[in-house]
Amino acid sequence: MTGLGAVTPLGGDVETTWRRLTAGESGGGPITAFATDGHPVRIACEAAEFEPERWLDRRSLRRLDRFAQFAVAAARMAEADAGLDVAAEPDRVGASIATAQGGVASLSACCAEAEEQRIHPSLVTAFMPNMAAGWVSMELGARGPLGAPCTACAASAMAVGEGYDAIRLGRAEVMLCGGSEAGITDLAVAGFAAMRALSRRNDDPARASRPFDAGRDGFVMGEGAAVLVLEELEHAEARGAKIYAELAGYGVSSDAHHMTEPDPGGRGSAQAIRLALADAGLEPDDVDYVNAHASSTDLGDASETAAIKLALGEEKARSIPVSSIKGATGHCLGAAGAVEAAMTVLAIERDVVPPTINYERADPACDLDYVPNESRSVRVDVALSNSFGFGGHNAVLALCKHAR
């Protein structure tokens, strides 16, 4: 990893996000994106500091949905952070940018105006899920492999994994990988609320997302994007690039269980963890930290706890820190895996584990060391970043400290 870029509910860039995350701050607040009168859920984690005009001209802003705007901004940040000039070797640079929902805001707005036939000519390209990837490719001039996984909340971890595979197979030397989501809309929030998936702590938005806590009552919608620059090692070293960490392994699996509920025993998730470790040539004893998917749902957090113990062994699982940043960022859906991977990369580089905020009461089904409320200085040589999505999609990234 040689470059990082992000737009999150904690800030408009990576360093602001990291600073607020490790300080234990929350990005939660009342929804401002639409009028919430009558909604049972009126809270979210919005990317309030995003300034689209910094990254796109006025014409592009009219054509791009917010999720694509996020992606272009994060990609430009990552390119600059890596000291890359993508346009200088466009055929050897690709992009893999994921989403869960795509341009749902553009689609929702259009539906509201459909009776008057006031359809914007850019509607189709605004809501198509692959358009964040397309715009990143066009704006930066990357002509290598182009992908757009759409596998719910595992999507951007899979985007990183697909970029990793593209480099390993010799299809590219550099990949811009990540995900983007801008789903805080009337329709999407109402839909998730109808499923009883969202927290209803409307009177306390900063404390509503509480992974692993016994009082958790659902996730809080988040939004944003993250892009990571993956680079073939010799290519990075030849140009003297700063190397944050190395992506050493990637594992994917399916629960084959239920469309929205995880396997309570964590078998599919545990298999993805095992595969990531095997791909990296690592053993469970090598793991120093797990950045958990844990989104503050009753079944999901308990299932992931079971999966970590199943994959690593109970003794090992209890001996290492396991934290979820979703207490601070909410659940950024298709962008979550990339945001979390970026924060895991910094945890490795800086030997600091971010906290699980809003953790107050232990749940007997969640009995690991969740780094409650305060970040922790600890040596991190090997970390796992877990991402699990509706439909039973599981993706795990194994990341390692770069041997300088």
Q: Which domain holds residue 370?
A: 246-400
Instruction: Point out the domain boundary residue: 218, 238, 258.
Output: 238
Element (H, E) at 312: helix 298-312
* Spatial separation of the C-alpha atoms in residues 276 and 388, rounded to whole Å: 14
The token pair at 316 is 């090992």
Looking at the fold, whether 167 and 134 belong to one and the same domain comes out as yes
CATH number of the domain that residue 63 is part of? 3.40.47.10
258 tagged catalytic: no
Given 177, 331, 332, 400, the catalytic residue: 331
Q: Give the pLDDT score at 404.
A: 63
The two tokens of residue 20 are 């607020």
- State the pLDDT at residue 273: 98
Same domain, residue pair 59 and 141: yes
Active site residue 331: yes
- Single-letter amino acid code for the residue at 154: A
Same-domain check for residues 138 and 196? yes
Cα separations in angstroms, 303 against 12, 43, 177, 255, 388: 32, 26, 27, 11, 11
Same domain, 52 and 170: yes
Q: Are 366 and 222 in contact (CB under 8 A)?
A: no
What was the pLDDT predicted at 112? 58
Q: Residue 387: what pLDDT?
A: 98
- Whether residues 137 and 215 share a domain: the answer is yes
In order along its 404 residues, the chain shows pLDDT tens digits of: 999 999 999 999 999 999 999 999 999 999 999 999 999 999 999 999 999 999 998 888 888 999 999 999 999 999 999 999 999 999 999 999 999 998 888 777 766 555 555 666 666 667 788 999 999 999 999 999 999 999 999 999 999 999 999 999 999 999 999 999 999 999 999 999 999 999 999 999 999 999 999 999 999 999 999 999 999 999 999 999 999 999 999 999 999 899 888 899 999 999 999 999 999 999 999 999 999 999 999 999 999 999 999 999 999 999 999 999 999 999 999 999 999 999 999 999 999 999 999 999 999 999 999 999 999 999 999 999 999 999 899 999 999 999 86
CA separation for the pair 19, 22 (Å, rounded):
5
Are 115 and 167 found together in one domain?
yes
Choose, from 177, 293, 332, 400, the residue flagged as catalytic. 293
* Integer angstrom CA distances of residue 180 from 28, 32, 49, 85: 18, 19, 16, 22
Boundary (domain end) residue, out of 238, 263, 297: 238
Do 267 and 179 lie in a common domain?
no
Indicate if 100 and 224 belong to the same structural domain: yes
Q: Are residues 165 and 296 in the same domain?
A: no
283 and 375 share a domain? yes
Give the chain's length.
Answer: 404
Residues 42 and 167 in one domain: yes
Structural domains of the chain, count: 2
pLDDT at 128: 83
Catalytic residue status for 293: yes
The residue whose two tokens read 């006025």 is 58
Domain boundary (238, 264, 279) is at 238
**Parallel, antiparallel, or unpaired: how do β-strands 352-353 and 376-377 relate?**
antiparallel
**263 and 143 in a common domain:** no
Question: What pLDDT shows up at residue 116?
Answer: 56
